[in-house]
Chain A
Amino acid sequence: MNKNKVIQVEGLTKMFGDFTAVNAITFDVEKGEIFGFLGANGAGKTTAMKMLIGISKPTSGNATVAGFDVYTNAEDIKKNIGYMSQKFALYDDLTVKENITFFGGIYGLSRAKIKEKSNELIEELGLQDVANQLVGSLPLGWKQKISFSVALLHDPKIVFLDEPTGGVDPITRRQFWEMIYKAANQGTTIFVTTHYMDEAEYCDRVSIMVNGKIEALDTPKKLKEQFKAANMNDVFLKLARG
């Protein structure tokens, strides 16, 4: 295996009955890369992502994530990745500190390590004043920033972000991307889905799924050239509308 390829996918397929949700997709993601995983609703993104994070078995094809096989080493995958989605992020009824401690414990960090990471995170996000407040009382943008930091607690090799910025105000959305850049710059691989096409431009490479297949995969610049489009929104519209 190529050491720099932290995700390797070949002919990965998932069928539900006679419906092919993910149809023989093939791609690699490199270490430290910000990889945008785009597609229309129902194109198969979530199904593909579930296979990559080890919670859904493929029907056929191969994939390794962080060096582990999705069929045989799904538990190792879970230990080596971080995951954050808009739908499930943090527990609203726990405080910021309690959430950090809880997830640190889930990821198997020692008490000392949790304490150290917790202080680090609170300091970095400037959360000193709200550290003991219930997460439910915080604005969505803050929650998403904390949630991302929590997904990084155990220093995962790859973080999967499923529409992390939906509904977040534009300033916080950008602060969130600065956090993504920072993590990528430190060598963490970022695998991200989004419906904001300007965010697609922030990715190193972007894949676009249509009806279960990856129909385009390249840097935003090259995709724009290929589809003779002014921006990623036009690329997306051209591809998905055929």
Chain B
Amino acid sequence: MSISVSHINKSYKTVKALQDISFEVKPGELFGLIGPDGAGKTTLFRILTTLLIADEGKATVAGFDVVTEYKNIRNSVGYMPGKFSLYQDLTVEENLNFFATIFGTTIEENYELIKDIYVQIEPFKDRRAGKLSGGMKQKLALSCALIHKPKVLFLDEPTTGVDPVSRKEFWEMLKRLQEKGITILVSTPYMDEAALCDRIALIQDGKILEIDTPEAIVRHYPKPIYNVRANNMYQLINSLNTYEFNHSVYPFGEFVHYTDRRTDFNPKELQAYLESKNLLNIEIEKTKPTIEDTFMELAKS
């Protein structure tokens, strides 16, 4: 296993940041930790990159124990923290050189690995890192995390606050790195990115809700789910929220995703109810659940 986590617990004073976390990541796998701010993702990353010691439990990365063999881990992993943590006063090239030197290598030696990403910022190699745009900082940080050819790459929320176009490009880069044999553990609060991982762990409030492939997680959704639409979104949400048989009511883009408490639910009854609330142009049709539906269903119970 590239990463093996077994019954990890970590608390800060009264806050239980991580509770009994266990999972494994196979060599070459792209594994996603999916959850909102405060779920414990960063704490877990810091434990696995040997920057923090767990209260209980064991973990290995690239075959090394995170406590007793932390020096070996530091040589074999790349870590891109959520906060930009390069030297703002060094230029792009100086930053990269710095990280290469620290790990006893050179830019030339591993250029092949970062080429794809670095060529995009190379025209700005004499610019100070602090003066780069968000997207360029991200590419530089990734280049620095890769310059010593790590076996395992840790990316903590690399796409938070990043627009959809840059997000898509970033995930394409990750796929290419994966093809080069690097194991990747990536966290994100964007549920739509979960589908791009081989396997994912849904995490909230320090607990893992489920671990599986994105397809399987969606398949496990327990109820039939419906797209509901009407002429007034706000009234529609209010009416569905006060419907006595509702199980869940969540806006999803142009629709509301609705599930019913009854096993013999008939959409026609709901249609009649919504009509009685003076809603117009009502549409109710069965739809497929998404990762986000599953996440909310698991987080609810």
Which residues of A approach B to under 8 Å, CB–CB? 39-43, 86, 139-141, 163, 166-172, 174, 177-178, 181-182, 184-185, 195-198, 201-202, 220-221, 231-233, 236-237, 240-241
Contact = CB atoms under 8 A, between A and B. Distances in A.
A202 B252 CA distance: 8
Contact of A169 (B36, B162, B165): B36
A201 B253 contact: yes
A240 B233 contact: no
B252 A42 contact: no
A195 B36 contact: no
Interface in B173-213: 189-192, 204
B250 interface: yes
A39 B163 contact: yes
Given A42-B134, A170-B295, A185-B234, A221 B165 contact: no
Interface centre among A139, A167, A221 (most CB of B within 10 A): A167
A181 B233 contact: yes
Contacts of B166: 40-41
B216 interface: no
Interface of B: 35-39, 133-135, 157, 160-168, 189-192, 204, 233-234, 237, 250-254, 292, 295-296, 299-300
Nearest to A197: B164
Contacts of B157: 167
Contacts of B161: 41, 86, 163, 166, 195
A236 B254 CA distance: 16
Contacts of B37: 139-140, 167-169
A240 B165 CA distance: 7
A206 B39 CA distance: 31
A182 B35 CA distance: 27
Question: Secondary structure at chain A's binding surface: helix, strand, loop or mixed?
Answer: helix
Contacts of B162: 41, 195
B251 A231 contact: no
Given A171-B296, A197-B164, A233-B192, 10 more contacts: A41-B163, A42-B134, A166-B160, A167-B160, A169-B39, A170-B250, A170-B292, A195-B161, A198-B252, A232-B253
A58 to B, nearest CB: 22
A201 B254 contact: yes
26 contacts: A40-B165, A42-B133, A42-B134, A86-B161, A140-B36, A141-B36, A166-B161, A168-B189, A169-B35, A169-B36, A169-B204, A170-B36, A174-B250, A174-B251, A178-B234, A178-B237, A184-B234, A195-B162, A195-B164, A198-B252, A198-B253, A201-B253, A232-B253, A233-B164, A233-B192, A236-B165
A181 B38 CA distance: 26
B244 to A, nearest CB: 19
Nearest to B191: A170
A169 B299 contact: yes
Nearest to A180: B234
Nearest to B188: A167
B299 A237 contact: no
A193 B7 CA distance: 40
A170 B37 CA distance: 11
Contacts of B35: 169
Contacts of B253: 197-198, 201-202, 231-232
A196 B191 CA distance: 10
B234 A181 contact: yes
> Which of B35, B39, B204, B233 has the most chain A CB atoms inside 10 A of its CB?
B233
A31 to B, nearest CB: 16
Nearest to B292: A170
A107 to B, nearest CB: 26
A220 B37 CA distance: 28
A169 B292 CA distance: 10
Contacts of A241: 165
A42 B133 CA distance: 7
Nearest to B248: A171
B251 A177 contact: yes
B38 A237 contact: no
B290 to A, nearest CB: 10
Contacts of B295: 170
B296 A139 contact: no
Contacts of A201: 253-254
Contacts of B300: 171
A43 B133 CA distance: 11
Nearest to B256: A174
